[in-house]
Structure 1
């Protein structure tokens, strides 16, 4: 019987028989079988889906992380509230102790005299009035002094039908008022080229004829409180005085006066 030779068993150039299996290519990148498609994608476009157990672990980790964040926020919030409460309690205790030690009393202010020049209401020209005002300041405290510092302003207005008409301005002198002290000082307020309407002039003439001219004096001054040997920070003192005079001359007399004040801490 004749020997059968496999088609792939043909001898090669060296005379040896090739034993490579059928359909296997000798190249490094073998060709895919017939009917197979190969799609090549870059690595950064390949998405991997984690197994279900990894997804569950990730969700548990995210929940734990959010819980830790909320817990840290709550601790910080309560620590801040506790610190602020402690500071407020210390301030209240300190203020109470100072009050019991020094027994502070409110100072008082009043206008003792108003002398007016240059209020010509018969002429249609502008006016430049001058007000000489005497102010009384009383410090009733036994251990507290008051520094009246520079930078004050004093304004005077006439009141007509509920409206205020500006008449002049000036400043207060800077001085120190010790404890248990009464200080009387004068200040000059001046107006320059003031224009009054005919209605305001008519009201002022009628009020002067009736012997009751209302004026408003506003005082704004920076002060510093001295407690024993300690100077406190600068605060702003505001005084409003409603004064009624009998006329608008240098010999005017005060019929009534009411002064109120308030303090602005900042």
Structure 2
């Protein structure tokens, strides 16, 4: 193990010219070989940065600066998309209105083919079969959004159901069934009397209300969505095993 020798104090500086203000200090080391320890003041020791700082700095230098033109272009694209979709909606509404005005399609015509009480307990259920006729020769009807059907007796709602979603070709009559279920158990008094009296038939008058949305369609053209309300007044001779429709009247209104 090598011995360490302390550094001897430096000799006093030799001033070549006492009148010169710039003094040169010369540190003379001893000629004897060995290992020496140099002590540096603490305020002159500088912290070495970690190596990852250099990679972060290089990545920031290599990263392309954000272009103001690119940001401006993105805003223009968003604005153009909003205007484009707004024009599409406006054109759709205009063409839908022109379609309805120029072609003047007629409303669908409804009629009741069968009306029957299919279940009495726990909650009564009524099965109704409708015919809907599309009298337009070139315009189809698209029934959508699952409308509603309600059954009333003496202006009191006693059952309800869902109107089906379907498409009807021009000049076609379509048949469909709707099951109406009562919200409360038990039959109305007049309905119960009509069910029990098979020999002496007790007639019952009902009112059916249908609410649905539909679009008229011809090729690629479609009308705006229209709301329809249908009211059917029907009178049954009996609700026993054998039933027969005595009279009916249906009216369709477009909104």
Q: Scaled by the length of structure 2, what TM-score is found?
A: 0.54
Equivalent residue, structure 1, for 2:136: 141
User: Per the alignment, in what secondary structure is the counterpart of residue 205 of structure 1?
Assistant: helix
* 1:103 positional shift: 6.0
User: Per the alignment, in what secondary structure is the counterpart of residue 129 of structure 2?
Assistant: strand
Distance across 1 between alignment mates of 2:142 and 2:100 = 23
Query: Which of the residues 249, 253, 266 maps onto 2:244?
Result: 253
Q: Does 1:263 align with 2:251?
A: no
List per-residue Cα deviations over 1:80-106 (Å, max 9, x = no partner): xxxxxxxxxx99xx68982xxx46334
Query: Residues 145 and 167 (structure 1 numbering): CA distance in 2 closer, same or farther, change over 3 Å?
Result: same
Equivalent residue, structure 1, for 2:234: 243
Give the alignment's Cα RMSD to 1 decimal.
3.1
Distance across 2 between alignment mates of 1:226 and 1:96 = 10
Distance across 2 between alignment mates of 1:212 and 1:203 = 9
Distance across 1 between alignment mates of 2:99 and 2:219 = 15
Equivalent residue, structure 2, for 1:3: none
User: Per the alignment, in what secondary structure is the counterpart of residue 146 of structure 2?
Assistant: coil
Distance across 1 between alignment mates of 2:148 and 2:101 = 35
Given that 1:204 and 1:213 are in contact with CA atoms closer than 8 Å, whether structure 2 keeps it comes out as: no
The number of equivalent residue pairs is 158
Equivalent residue, structure 1, for 2:214: 223
Gaps of 5+ in 2: 1-93
Match runs of 1:1-150 below 5 Å = 98=102, 102=103, 104-119=105-120, 128-150=123-145
Distance across 2 between alignment mates of 1:97 and 1:154 = 29
Equivalent residue, structure 2, for 1:212: 203
Query: Residues 250 and 103 (structure 1 numbering): CA distance in 2 closer, same or farther, change over 3 Å?
Result: same
* 1:211 positional shift: 3.5
Distance across 2 between alignment mates of 1:205 and 1:108 = 32
Distance across 2 between alignment mates of 1:222 and 1:96 = 15
List per-residue Cα deviations over 1:236-257 (Å, max 9, x = no partner): 1110000001122353221111
Distance across 2 between alignment mates of 1:168 and 1:244 = 17
Equivalent residue, structure 2, for 1:155: 150
List per-residue Cα deviations over 1:114-161 (Å, max 9, x = no partner): 0113458xxxxxx621111100000011111111002301001112xx
Give the ranges of 4+ consecutive aligned residues of structure 1 lying more than 6 Å apart after TM superposition. Answer: none
Distance across 1 between alignment mates of 2:116 and 2:166 = 23
User: Per the alignment, in what secondary structure is the counterpart of residue 133 of structure 2?
Assistant: strand
